[in-house]
Amino acid sequence: MKIAVLKEAAEGETRVAAIPETVKKFVALGADVAVERGAGDAASIPDADFEAAGAKLGSRADVLKGAGIILCINAADLKGADAGALLVGALDPTRRRDAVDCYAKAGIDALAMEWMPRITRAQSMDILSSQSNLAGYKAVIEAADAYGRAFPMMMTAAGTVSPAKVFVMGVGVAGLQAIATAKRLGAQVSATDVRSATREQIQSLGAKPIFVENVAGIEGEGSGGYATEMSAEYQKAQADLVSGHIAKQDIVVTTALIPGKPAPRLITDAQLATMRPGSVVVDLAAEAGGNVEGAVSGDQVVKHGVTIIGAANLARSLAADSSALFARNLYNFLSAFWDKEQARPLFPDDDEIVRGIRLTHGGKVVHERLTAA
Ligand code: NAD
334-373 pLDDT, tens digit per residue, is 999 999 999 999 999 999 999 999 999 999 999 999 987 5
Q: Whose CA is nearest to atom 32 of ligand 1?
A: 225
* Cα 140 from Cα 181, distance rounded (Å): 7
Cα 187 to averaged position of ligand 1 atoms, centre (Å):
23
* β-strand pairing of 251-254 with 208-209: unpaired
User: Nearest residue CA, atom 18 of ligand 1?
Assistant: 264
User: Does an H or E element contain 360, and which?
Assistant: strand 360-361
**Which pLDDT belongs to residue 221?**
72
pLDDT by residue (tens digit) across 234-272?
Answer: 999 999 999 999 999 999 999 999 887 899 999 999 999
Of 87, 21, 80, nearest to 54 by C-alpha is: 21
- Could you give the percent of the chain with pLDDT greater than 90? 90
**Residue to probe by mutation, ligand 1, list 116, 129, 266, 357, most atoms within 8 Å of CB:** 129
Instruction: Give the span between the Cα atoms of 23 and 323, in whole angstroms.
Output: 13
CA 84–ligand 1 middle distance (angstroms):
35
322 alpha-carbon distance from chain centroid: 9
Quick one: pLDDT at residue 217? 81
How many Å lie between the centroid of ligand 1 and the Cα of residue 156? 40
Cβ-based neighbour number of residue 139 at 10 Å: 27
Which residues participate in catalysis according to the annotation?
118, 123, 126, 129, 226
Give strand pairing partners of 308.
281, 301
At residue 373, the pLDDT reads 58
Low-confidence ranges of the chain (pLDDT < 50): none
Closest C-alpha to ligand 1, atom 14: 256
Helix or strand run (H / E) with residue 3: strand 2-5
pLDDT of 148:
94
Cα(260) to ligand 1 centroid in Å equals: 13
Measured torsion, CA atoms of residues 40, 43, 45, 50, in degrees rounded to the nearest 10: -40
What Rg value do the Cα atoms of the chain yield, rounded?
Answer: 22
Residues with CB under 6 A from ligand 1: 118-120, 122-123, 126, 128-129, 132, 169-175, 192-195, 221, 225-227, 230, 255-259, 264, 266
Atom of ligand 1 nearest to the CA of 235: 18
Best residue among 255, 267, 284 to mutate for probing ligand 1, ranked by most atoms within 8 Å of CB: 255
Ligand 1 atom 1 nearest Cα: 257
CA–centroid distance, 225 to ligand 1, in Å, is 6
Residue pair 130/113 in contact (Cβ under 8 Å)? The answer is no
Distance 69 CA to ligand 1 centre (A): 31
Give the helix ranges, DSSP H, for the chain: 20-28, 47-52, 60-64, 97-105, 127-146, 173-184, 198-204, 232-246, 269-272, 319-336, 352-357, 368-371
